[in-house]
Amino acid sequence: MERERLIKTVERILQTAGYRTARLDLRGACFDIAASRLFLLLFLKVVVNIDTITEEQVEDLKRLARFFNASPLIVGLKSKNTDLEEGVVYERFGVYALRPETLYEIIAENELPAVFAERGGLYVRINGQLLRALREKHGYSVGELAELVGVSRKSILNYERNESAVSLEVAMRLEEIFNEALAEPINVLNAPLETKLDAEPENPLEKEIFERLKSLGLGVVKVKRAPFNAVSREDELKILTGIDEKKTRSTVKRAEMVAEVGKIVNSEGVFILEKTKTEVVGEIPIIPKESLKEVRDADELIEMIEALKKEIKRELFS
């Protein structure tokens, strides 16, 4: 129940800030909310304790963020048995993690945090060039400033060269000495992402369909922890692709979620099954894999998807 309330809180924060949102209801998913506003796209994983998120979930989260040029975020309340601190940025497998209050400050009030947690302490990055200019302006040698703040000469030199982070306590002392802000804000929504987009298919059916999509000129990226099995792209065209042996209640539920996410990430969706009749669920076409043999390229696949959606709408309103 606590996690459900947390997800609803994060949704309200996003919507208050003008974001459109789509919510997943999928156990173990790599994200729980997709959100978009103007040119910003976010994938958010929401958990009570950020340590419960697996590396596999985070790798999928990073793949999606890189594929869609989006920002991945983890929103939580605790790490181990300790509450996360408001205004502090944490990290889980290379993705920023923070409290919902910090998220609100970032997206609703445009206030970026400067403090991050690392190795059991709180740190900031400071403007080294400004620190050196202030030290020289006030007539301090490197040794004198080091003695004032209680660190080594080497530490001061490292700070000025931007070669090391500064403990929060030392940063506060430096700002008190010079009466000027030195901490650099953390651009949480524009973090560098290190991830590969070449995840392998998990079973023979995925492999067969991936190879067929690639033959149509689509790039394919496998996603394990989402309602879709892969994301595909040709230039600006993007497709959320679900794959199943046969249609089940789970297939229908996943297709409905893909329809909602597709609206947020501006992408088409399709489910390709081993055997099925052609139909549309939640504006997502479900087609047998044999239908792909009739398609010559990515444009024809999109034309097929659009034609099926229009046909269903005609049937509904006729």
Question: Is the pLDDT at 120 greater than 90, yes or no?
Answer: no
Question: What pLDDT, on the 0 to 100 scale, is given for residue 124?
Answer: 96
Encode pLDDT of 61-105 as tens digits.
999 999 999 999 999 999 988 999 999 999 999 999 999 999 999
Average pLDDT over residues 199-216: 90
Question: Is the pLDDT at 45 greater than 60, yes or no?
Answer: yes
CB neighbourhood size of 199 (10 A): 16
* Nearest CA-CA partner of 218 in 201, 251, 241: 241
**Distance (Å, whole) CA 285 – CA 269:** 7
Helix (H, G, I), strand (E, B) or coil at 207: helix
CA dihedral 33→37→42→45, nearest 10 degrees, is -30
CATH number of the structural domain 2-113: 3.40.1350.10
CATH number of the structural domain 204-317: 3.40.1350
Which of residues 206 and 318 earns the better pLDDT score?
206
**Distance (Å, whole) CA 239 – CA 261:** 11
Domains of the chain, residue spans? 2-113, 122-178, 204-317
Fold adopted by 122-178: 434 Repressor (Amino-terminal Domain) (1.10.260)
Q: Let me know if the fold of 2-113 is the same as that of 204-317.
A: yes
Encode pLDDT of 50-63 as tens digits.
999 999 999 999 99
pTM of the model: 0.92
